């Protein structure tokens, strides 16, 4: 067995039963890299105060990442990770939806004030009253 296999095996044994590298940690690490780049930028621009603040934030963030990676409280870590994944998917889908609606020139979209449902109506109908299909509230709209 060569040295790399041995190190790999030892690492695998050490990480067994620990949380490791989940999606939340990946995201935290990406955030870490961005802040680190920002710190570097502040350093070159001689903004000492910002460098100090970012240093503190970076240190704290690394502690959180390491704590989560080596944590043995798997159920807690998985719940955190799941919350993050759900939130991230929601934001991603919302952005994709907004882009699609923006690209759609044949319809106008209105958000229902009472239930936040998005109602789609064809363009060019003048002033109309939309009845929300979800909650029945009326929306005055101009298309």
List of residues contacting Zn ion (CB under 5 A): 112, 114-115, 117, 132, 134-135, 137
Please give the Cα distance from 70 to 19 (Å, whole number).
6
Q: How far is the CB of 133 from Zn ion (least distance, A)?
A: 8
Q: How far is the CB of 136 from Zn ion (least distance, A)?
A: 7
Nearer to Zn ion, 51 or 132 (CB): 132
Nearer to Zn ion, 7 or 135 (CB): 135
Coil, strand or helix: which one is 46? Answer: coil
The helix (run of H) or strand (run of E) holding residue 1 is none
Q: If you ran DSSP here, which 8-state letter would residue 17 be given? A: T
Please give the Cα distance from 22 to 77 (Å, whole number).
9
Q: If you ran DSSP here, which 8-state letter would residue 22 be given? A: -
Sequence-distant (≥ 6) Cβ neighbours of residue 113 within 8 angstroms:
137, 139
Coil, strand or helix: which one is 68? Answer: helix
Nearer to Zn ion, 51 or 112 (CB): 112
Helix, strand, coil share (%) of the chain residues, nearest 5: 60, 15, 25
Nearer to Zn ion, 35 or 139 (CB): 139
Nearer to Zn ion, 30 or 134 (CB): 134
Q: How far is the CB of 109 from Zn ion (least distance, A)?
A: 13
Q: How far is the CB of 113 from Zn ion (least distance, A)?
A: 8
Q: How far is the CB of 134 from Zn ion (least distance, A)?
A: 5
């Amino acid at each position: 067995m060569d040295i790399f296999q041995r190190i790999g095996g030892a690492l695998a044994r050490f990480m067994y039963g620990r949380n490791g590298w989940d999606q939340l940690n990946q995201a935290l690490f990406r955030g870490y890299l961005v802040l680190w780049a920002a710190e570097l930028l502040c350093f070159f621009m001689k903004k000492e105060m910002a460098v100090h603040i970012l240093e503190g934030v970076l240190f704290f963030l690394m502690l959180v990442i390491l704590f989560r990676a080596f944590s043995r409280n798997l159920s807690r870590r998985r719940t955190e990770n799941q919350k993050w994944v759900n939130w991230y998917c929601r934001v991603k889908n919302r952005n994709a939806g907004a882009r699609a609606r923006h690209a759609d020139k044949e319809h106008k979209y209105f958000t229902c004030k009472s239930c936040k449902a998005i109602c789609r109506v064809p363009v060019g109908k003048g002033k109309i009253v939309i009845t929300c299909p979800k909650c029945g509230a009326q929306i005055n709209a101009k298309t």
